Structure 1
């Protein structure tokens, strides 16, 4: 039996449901546990180390300056 008037056998509502599901799967935020992860940049790692107290303010400023010069080149 051919369904010529109902969008390839699926009603219009089901097409919307599938489109929403696909959008939700591929557009989920990266910070949800168990999902895709963003790679940390060196500057992000440096900021985390500074926030955790692993390095001093002077070390942070020196390394930040070096990283920013690398990004500029």
Structure 2
């Protein structure tokens, strides 16, 4: 009987760990793992962090350095 409770607890712990890992995979898969520099630049411009002049200048520099 005592052995049965150990098995139940082990299964509960494994299930919780599995559920946590599964939840973390879902949250990270919704966004790309790494953005390219141009994607980062576009995102920052879209969020209003950069002015149009800054965006154009940095975009030209990135395209030139390719």
Please state which band the TM-score falls in when normalised by the shorter chain.
0.5 to 0.7
Structure (1/2) with the larger helix percentage: 2
String of CA shifts for 1:22-54, please: whole Å, max 9, x gaps.
Answer: xxxxxxxxxx53338431000000001100001
User: Equivalents in 2 of 1:38, 1:59: separation in Å?
Assistant: 25
Unmatched segments (≥5 aa) in structure 2: 1-25
If asked which structure has higher relative contact order (CA below 8 Å, sep 6+), I would say 2
Length, aligned pairs only: 40
Alignment TM-score, normalising by the size of structure 2: 0.52
Q: Does 1:40 align with 2:57?
A: no
String of CA shifts for 1:4-23, please: whole Å, max 9, x gaps.
Answer: xxxxxxxxxxxxxxxxxxxx
**CA distance 1:66–1:39, shift in 2 (3 Å):** same
Unmatched segments (≥5 aa) in structure 1: 1-31
Alignment TM-score, normalising by the size of structure 1: 0.48
